Amino acid sequence: MSIEPGKTIVGFVGLGVMGQSMAGHILNAGYELHVYNRTKSKAEKITSKGAVWEDTVVELTTKCNVIITIVGFPADVENVYLGDKGILNHATKGTIVIDMTTSSPDLAENIYEKAKEKGIDSLDAPVSGGDLGAQNASLSIMVGGDRKTFDKAFPLFEVMGKNIVLQGKSGSGQHTKMANQIAIAAGLVAVCESLAYAKKAGLDPETVLKSIGKGAAESWSLNNLGPRMIAQNVEPGFYIKHFIKDMNIAAASSTRLGLKTPGLDLTLSLYKRMADMGFENNGTQALFKLFE
């Protein structure tokens, strides 16, 4: 099966902060797109542009050649794929399923094996880049699974991202995303501390950012989330509750691998404090509030 507009019917499950834009790029590329989301109102924008709403995951599954999911938590992934009304119990042989949720590597491997038994091809393909990356179709896409399936799915990945890498066997995409989240975690704390220091020293944080944002301290978090911190903007590009979920998965995976992660552990504890303070539905940049 070749994937191309006019021949491939794509199903997309999960129209959140990132999924909405990702699905939109697929629709704009000319693919017939069927969508499902737990909250139907979130689909109104994309259905007004030509996407077809489906009332259930089962209905979507039976009509599509390729199914992409980006939902909230591993439990949601498990339900949408392995539940009685899940994708793998209703997809036809030869269907390609792509989970782009940040989820458990072990679950990704389990889905791959269950899919293989049914003649269904499975990829785990979590993404990085936040709401801006999704909007600009510049996401980094980390993929685990078979090379032949990756090659088939590549045209779809290309309409959503720029840095698209097959990392290895099933689960490898999720392991790579854990490495990504571990790198981001301590970096977010550092950005907060840096801007808090600049403010305490009587400097203008925006002017400071012009210097350090182009030097050795340059990072995506500094240059994209730093301005939001300065502007006191806590709107979610990526929810705190989802980052806590990611860090919990990374911490559990690290423990299984026998790896100590003190930077990750500190960041996780700080974000749990944020959640306890009622900020779990705000963006990750809201961490700066602990440093004010």
Catalytic residues: 177
Q: Rounded to whole angstroms, how far apart are CA atoms 253 and 247?
A: 10
Q: How far apart are CA 90 and CA 216, in angstroms?
A: 51
Classify 32 as helix, strand or coil: strand
Instruction: Count Cα atoms within 13 angstroms, Cβ side, for 172.
Output: 15
Burial of residue 76, with CB atoms counted within 10 A of its CB: 0-12 exposed, 13-18 middle, 19 or more buried: middle
Q: Cα–Cα distance between 166 and 23 in angstroms, integer?
A: 21
Antiparallel, parallel or unpaired: β 139-144 and 127-128: antiparallel
